[in-house]
Structure 1
């Protein structure tokens, strides 16, 4: 049996610094048998946020990169296809997606992808089958 994976998107890596929630610990609690992963294109997006912003966004992107590069998260070498957006690629590679992006959540749900997100700014919840 293959290990199930939770794919973490850019916006979810920023959650700990916006709402002071330890997403890694919370994900491990809610989905103990899942491996936490993120595609390399998400890392690139975080690097872009760090490079192109100032102040809090830059700081949060830097902290998010540290989190993404921790031993708890596997970075998968996945590239964007030609003309593909990060959101489209996330929908392509995810069975379980950790995001707080409202539009992405709607699109994922429509595709039958299980969504993991922060609810009421303090706990992680799962929408869909696991």
Structure 2
């Protein structure tokens, strides 16, 4: 199964020390996709984020993205994630509350960080 990784999903390892790829594999996901707009957000955050911690987490996310399939997409990251998830049936790993709502109401499987130490498939009622 395939999963699209959002910007904040790729920053989880730098922020919380969670091996997101191991966790995604535990959930049955083997193909990791990163959209070009997500890379652009990470590049921007790696230079301009308010905190040093966020800049470092974004840099770690960029390094991790190198091991993923990069998918060309235009527009903003959230819209591109929703569009590709709907077209391909891929799940999305994000912690963005608003994006989780949008995805869930459209029937997209959402994966998120739970208790700062593991990933789980979100239940629609959580939003």
Range into which the TM-score falls when normalised by the shorter chain: 0.7 to 0.9
Match of 1:66 among 63, 67, 80: 63
TM-score, normalised with respect to structure 2: 0.85
**Greater share of helix:** 2
Unaligned runs of 5+ in 1: none
- RMSD value, Cα: 1.5
Q: Which runs of 4+ in 1 moved over 3 A?
A: none
Match of 1:91 among 73, 82, 96: 82
Residues 65-102 of structure 1 show CA distances to partners (whole Å, capped at 9, x for unaligned) of 001112xx11112222xxxx321221111131010111
Unaligned runs of 5+ in 2: none
Deviation of 1:117 (Å): 0.9
1:14 aligns with 2:5: no
SS of structure 2 residue aligned to 1:75: strand
Distance 2:80 2:46 in 1: 21
TM-score, normalised with respect to structure 1: 0.84
Distance 1:60 1:118 in 2: 15
